Amino acid sequence: MSRTFTIRARGPDVRLELERDLNEAQRAAVTCGDGPKLVIAGAGSGKTRTITYRVAYLLARGVPPAQVLLATFTNKAAREMLSRVETLTGGDAGAIWGGTFHAIGNRLLRRHGPRVGLAVNYSILDEEDSRDLLKMCVTEAKVRVEEKRFPAPALIADLVSMAFNSQRPLAAVLEERAPHFGMWTEELERVAARYEARKRAANAVDYDDLLRFWRALLDEHPDVAEGLGRQFRCLLVDEYQDTNLVQAQIVERLAERNGRNLMVVGDDAQSIYRFRGAHYDNILRFPERNPGTEVFKLEANYRSTPEILEFTNASILHNQRQHRKTLLAQRPRGSLPVVLPVNDAYQEAAFVAERILQLRDDGVPLADMAVLYRAHAHSSILQAELIKRHVPYEVRSGVRFFEQAHIKDVVAHLRILDNPFDEVAWRRLWLMLPRIGHVTAARLWQALAAHRNPLEAALSGSLGADLPPAARPHVARFQRDLRALRAAAEDRHPSELIGAVLETGYLDYLRATYDAHPSRLEDIQQLAVFARSYRTLRSFLSELVLLGELYGQEVAGGSRDDERLVLSSVHQAKGLEWKVVFVIRMCEGAFPSEMALREPEGEDEERRIFYVATTRAKDELYLTHPLIDLSPRGNGQVLLQPSRFLREIRFTLYEQGEVEMLSAYSPEPDWGA
């Protein structure tokens, strides 16, 4: 005989320590009732804590976990929040629909996909898969690329994605982001149409399709929309200022079906991802689109000193279109931010490196310091300086400056001028040409290697004569460019040679192959500036190799293996914080970006980027601005103005710094003959 025992499922622990753990504004947002809610969460104001407690509070009120949808921009953020919810409630938060928009869309489409023409076993294409499929579509569309370079598949993918996420025609996106490909508009539209057809035939979707079909479910199938409205009783969206038009449409379509029980959390002052399709008006006009919206402002800042916050508040107030707020410091007073003019980028790098080592000696770990910049190119000279001083660092704005593909492309041109037997450099150059693959590149190198001077052989009329007809014109054009480059090498400085590379067909290759080509062009220009301190091409190339050898060496005096200074673009630094922050290259044309200023409302977004940069600092903030810049062409100097973001702030809110040189200052020494 057996006995049955019943165990009642334990609900969430309602003893949430709201009074202890939350301030008044946070508690108001956490414990509010139903309906549309906008939480403006300033930098360092406890946004994550507020969202976490809101979810826990909903569960404590009896909302089933499966009726809560929490959309975030990273799966990591969702996992962290749900883990905290479990700690708070003592229950299992696994049934909550938490994750990125794409992850949640995938879960729904696995269930409802057949309603929009998707079999439930559809495949998801990653970025590489999408590029490969687009490459096939270019071939099938019979695009003739003999005369002009056609955009590379990766660039086509970016353009198609931006068109979808911004809900604009491909032609409009092309005109804005890549006008030099305007002659290919018709062909690109044909390739994009073929790409869509190919995906459907293969029962495959890319990342954008996960949003496209999710929205289609809501728009075209009222019964599904009603069911999802009932299922998701409570909607929460994190980092709402970063949503694009499609994501905002999905959220509001769902909210229409659940009584607009929707809470969005974000900071319009940290809206800095327009280049990815983020739509600023989503958060700015949320109350207008959702009548009856209750707005909460989290203004208590637990991160920065009062001096840093007074500085940042003064800056962002110059933006007119925003949800007004003033961050209030909860920490004791500290030191004023330091604004420091420096002679040039070399002195800037020397100051930053020296100050970082001083702070480290004073007990500030390297990992508690960061150098931020508007564009990756601005870090090139600093990276070289840090390597020479044996300061370990990690780059969070992409790969190390000298390891970037487009930098290596340019350097490959220079390497064959110095060493015509450099097979690796030759192969890299061959593979840049249309209609040239690895097999053909190997054949071309074999033809060169048989000669006493491969460079002379490369310029001979016989090279490529036995290649397929489609490849010969490209080899011929490369020979013309190479001939001009060799002539320039006879009497021009290494920095001028970099400019000469750009005057060849490489500029067309850069535009056709890589996304964000203007910023990559700026990288190359900064490489030219870096090369100004070397007398010979050989010494310059040797130094680049030695810089690579020094990567990762530990700082003098010893340090933990994991202790590294952070170098990061401002965009990559969003959401992070450090005790000490340096913001470099604070001059007009660099920060704010000259290119961004040409765009509508570009200045406002640049100021928001500056706001994000300065609000990363907890204890100390340094802002440096070079007074002169070396011309990338090697023909003189350019006078620089301090950034308008510095000039518009009252001088009483910062300390004016001054660099004192203890010995005769010279920029980068020439290490070779």
Alpha helices per DSSP H over 362-422: 380-388, 405-418
Contact between 267 and 286 under an 8 Å Cβ cutoff? The reply is no
Residue tagged active-site, from 158, 206, 209, 239: 239
> In this structure, what token pair is assigned to residue 130?
């999408």
**Catalytic residue list contains 47:** yes
Residue tagged active-site, from 47, 49, 374, 400: 47
Contact between 642 and 341 under an 8 Å Cβ cutoff? The reply is yes
Which residues are within 8 A (CB) of 616 and not within 5 positions of it... i.e. 6 or more apart?
370, 372, 573, 576, 577, 578, 581
Amino acid identity at 390: H
For 83, how many CA atoms within 13 A lie in the half-sphere containing its CB? 6
**Catalytic residue list contains 48:** yes
Residue tagged active-site, from 158, 238, 307, 409: 238
Verify cis geometry, omega within 30 degrees of 0, for the bond prior to 592: yes
Cα 102 to chain centroid distance, Å, stands at 19
Q: Tell which residue, 427, 420, 433, has the closest CA to residue 506.
A: 433
Residue tagged active-site, from 303, 607, 616, 618: 616
7: helix, strand or coil? coil
Residue tagged active-site, from 26, 52, 100, 270: 270
Residue tagged active-site, from 48, 74, 231, 330: 48
Rg (CA), the chain: 28
Alpha helices per DSSP H over 61-184: 75-89, 101-112, 127-140, 153-165, 170-177
**Catalytic residue list contains 238:** yes
> In this structure, what token pair is assigned to residue 19?
């009074």
Contacts made by residues 246-252, CB under 8 angstroms, sequence distance 24+: 246/164, 246/165, 246/167, 246/211, 246/212, 246/215, 247/71, 247/101, 247/211, 248/279, 248/282, 249/215, 250/101, 250/105, 250/211, 250/214, 250/215, 250/218, 251/71, 252/289, 252/290
- Separation of alpha carbons 1 and 21, rounded Å: 51
Edge-first strand order for the sheet with 565-569 is 393-395, 565-569, 369-373, 578-583, 617-626, 338-342, 655-656
> In this structure, what token pair is assigned to residue 358?
């001083």
639: helix, strand or coil? strand
**Catalytic residue list contains 616:** yes
Residue 663 is given by DSSP the state S
Q: Which residues are catalytic?
A: 47-48, 238-239, 270, 616
